[in-house]
Amino acid sequence: MKRLFYFAPLVLFLLIMPKSADSASAARSQPLHYLEKNSGRYEAFQAANPGIPYDTAIAYVNANTDKAYYEDIETIGDPSAIRAFVSKHFALPSNYTPNDIVAISGGGELRAEAAEAFIKMRSAAADAGLHLAIRSSYRSHGSQVASYDLVAGNYGVAGAEISVARPGHSEHQLGLALDIMHREGTVGPLTGQGFGETKEYFWLLEHGYEFGFILRYPENYVHIQGFTYEPWHWRYVGLRTASIMHDKGITTLEEYYGKYLAPDVRQTLQKNRVPKPALVIPGATRHAAAY
């Protein structure tokens, strides 16, 4: 009887240990951008989108893409950051205006860093016999109101919702986004889909990241971003971010935000001291060294 009494705790420990070990192993196997508080949302999103890789699904939830558009909106803490994330779930402060907007030769306005990067990119494209022209660039909050109202008046609210950001949710107000065309006056008034068939577009797909630009609304992501394919809309995020996205095959800024920029994710990454990916861009030094 005494022997049984002595062995009882050991038996209990052996019964519990595998479960605890399995639990610890499962926790260690989660990607670093996994947030326990979002576990239920991850499961629901993955169930609704089984074709999306698990770690990408986690990132999309961290970027609030599982929520209804324009509900439970978060205000951007630092809209002046080059990597500021604006979407249908994240809004600019109502009074935000960039303080370093500059005019670009040939037309258009952007923040100084983005403008300089575009000029270098335009020059590189010209060296390749291509022409990049700006159709639209910086828009103030008031200009975005007018733009949204115009599209809504012509195509209805439903058409505007997938074509134009609501005021306060536009990257154009950041001064970091521009709509590009290959010749002045040749792009359609609303969609500009024709640009997606040009040599300039395919050049941008291959080289845009070398200057810090990304295609912001790629094809087949309307269910994630809430906007239709916009081959003309390019966003300046800085050379490092654009390069990481290119090298790691990250297609949307939503995924990048959910993996690296969401506040709780950043705390986890800092805690685990994840080193920044190496920045190596063969052949791009001449145009992008400053970024």
Question: What pLDDT score was predicted for residue 17?
Answer: 47
Question: 28 in a domain, yes or no?
Answer: no
Number of domains the chain contains? 1
Question: What pLDDT score was predicted for residue 137?
Answer: 96
Are the beta carbons of 239 and 288 closer than 8 angstroms? yes
Tell me: the pLDDT tens digits for 32-71? Answer: 999 999 999 999 999 999 999 999 999 999 999 999 999 9
Known catalytic membership, residue 74: no
Tell me: the pLDDT tens digits for 225-282? Answer: 999 999 999 999 999 999 999 999 999 999 999 999 999 999 999 988 756 655 555 5
Question: 8 in a domain, yes or no?
Answer: no
Range of weakest confidence among 54-63, 78-87, 167-176, 276-285: 276-285
Question: What pLDDT score was predicted for residue 27?
Answer: 52
CATH number for the domain harbouring residue 144: 3.30.1380.10
Question: 138 in a domain, yes or no?
Answer: yes
Question: 247 in a domain, yes or no?
Answer: yes
Of the residues 161, 210, 230, 254, only one is catalytic, namely: 230
Mean pLDDT, all residues of the chain: 86
Compare 79 and 23 and report the one with higher pLDDT. Answer: 79
Question: 38 in a domain, yes or no?
Answer: yes
Q: Is the pLDDT of residue 19 over 50?
A: no
